[in-house]
Amino acid sequence: MRQRKMEAQMGPIMSAAAGGPYVALARPSGPEGWPLRFDAADAGADDSRRQIEIGLDEVVLRRRVAGVAMKAARPLTSYLGLAVALLDPEGDDDGVAIVLVHEDPALSVTLYSAPHIDDVVAEWRGWSAALGRPMLVTQADGCHRPAYAMIGRLTLGEVRGRRARRGALKHRRPSVYRRRGAGRPGELTVHRGERELSARD
């Protein structure tokens, strides 16, 4: 009874494996599309599935273990960011995935996976912008570092130098040098011993 009530409150759930072994979630285009709800594989769950709910401020994971319903809710800010990972790091498979990485691997969530890298960069940037979490680069030791600096949901680009002037006005003297400078007050001329001219009626 309780389980049916929980499923009714969650509403429609998308299956991450609906299109086969790869994950292809539809990224919401506006605030009204959140939270995003879907199923994902979970080897530790009773039915090898778990239910995931991703909002703009929280990630909720639900599963059943030994018949007991379990729920883990974490703020979105506790996730390190979006990392690109190989589906088979030690094999010949070229499949890649975009993972919302948490310090606890059990809480990490795969948002996209494909057998090739054709669209991975676009998906990587899109999920990073949608969730406001940085794009991560996985280093050789397994640690992650941001691919780009970010302030909140804004990605900081490189500072570009000022473009050189071109065209007919390239050698024109800047107008700032044509401005008249302020005069300097000198000594005032004093006239002594002169008769004052005045007009009287």
Could you tell me the residue ranges of all domains in the chain? Answer: 2-155
Between CA 148 and CA 151 the distance in angstroms is 10
Asked if 100 contacts 59 with a C-beta cutoff of 8 angstroms, the reply is yes
Between CA 157 and CA 150 the distance in angstroms is 9
Q: What is the pLDDT of residues 17-31, one digit of tens each?
A: 444 578 989 999 888
DSSP one-letter string for 86-151: ESSTTSS---EEEEEE-SSGGG-EEEEEESSSTTHHHHHHHHHHHHT--EEEE-TTS-EEESS-EE
| Per-residue confidence band for 184, with pLDDT thresholds at 50, 70 and 90 | low
Residue 15 has pLDDT above 50, yes or no: no
pLDDT at position 140 is: 73
pLDDT top residue among 95 and 60: 60
pLDDT top residue among 127 and 144: 127
pLDDT top residue among 20 and 179: 179
